[in-house]
């Protein structure tokens, strides 16, 4: 369980150094109707590992993963697992200032059961996910463009 201080800190670090998005990935199995799928992608990138290790200690090692990213792997990245996000992103969301809308879309996306029966989800759900992905992508690119 996160303390109020940890919740506020996580909200601040996500707003400043984090990415909150829904990522489209290409499928390789070709057994499904669509050649792509979606996943939540909430992460924090830092040059030094100590901050990310501290956050991973708060949330539990089973709820995230620290890896490397960037040119020559100069940066560390903490990726939050979707099972942890389902429970905790709604708690962090009210404290976000800059990435609140992206977090709302990810929370809604994570709240949907991914497979319904043998045929997967219906066309209406795919249309909703397509729209959510497009909105998050636009919000994130607008934010990146406004910082330059």
pTM of the full structure: 0.88
Distance of CA 26 to the CA centre of its chain: 17
Q: Strand pairing partners for 65?
A: 79
Q: Find the angle CA(31)-CA(35)-CA(36) to the nearest 5 degrees.
A: 120
- 43 with 76: CB under 8 angstroms? no
Distance from C-alpha of 25 to C-alpha of 128, rounded to nearest angstrom: 16
Q: Strand pairing partners for 23?
A: 39
pLDDT digits (tens, 9 = 90+) for 16-55: 999 999 999 887 766 666 778 889 999 999 999 999 999 9
Distance from C-alpha of 139 to C-alpha of 6, rounded to nearest angstrom: 26
Q: What pLDDT does 145 receive?
A: 59
Q: What pLDDT does 32 receive?
A: 61
Residue 5: pLDDT band with limits 50, 70, 90: very high
Q: Strand pairing partners for 26?
A: 36
Q: Does position 64 have pLDDT exceeding 60, yes or no?
A: yes
E strands present in the chain: 18-26, 36-46, 64-69, 75-80
Distance from C-alpha of 21 to C-alpha of 50, rounded to nearest angstrom: 24
Pairwise pLDDT comparison (133 vs 29), residue with the higher score: 133
Distance from C-alpha of 28 to C-alpha of 32, rounded to nearest angstrom: 10
Q: Does position 85 have pLDDT exceeding 90, yes or no?
A: yes
Residue 112: pLDDT band with limits 50, 70, 90: confident
């Amino acid at each position: 369980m996160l303390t109020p201080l940890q919740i506020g800190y996580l909200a601040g670090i996500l707003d400043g150094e984090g990415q909150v998005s829904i990522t489209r990935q290409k499928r390789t199995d070709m057994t499904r109707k669509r050649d792509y799928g979606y996943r939540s992608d909430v992460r924090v990138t830092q040059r030094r590992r100590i901050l990310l290790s501290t956050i991973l200690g708060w949330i539990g090692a089973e709820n995230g993963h620290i890896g490397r990213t960037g040119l020559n792997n100069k940066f560390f990245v903490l990726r939050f697992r979707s099972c942890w996000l389902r429970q905790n992103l709604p708690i962090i969301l009210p404290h976000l200032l800059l990435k609140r809308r992206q977090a709302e879309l990810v929370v809604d996306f994570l709240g949907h059961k991914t497979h319904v029966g043998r045929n997967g989800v219906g066309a209406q759900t795919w249309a909703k996910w397509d729209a959510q992905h497009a909105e998050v992508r636009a919000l994130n690119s607008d934010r990146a463009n406004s910082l330059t």
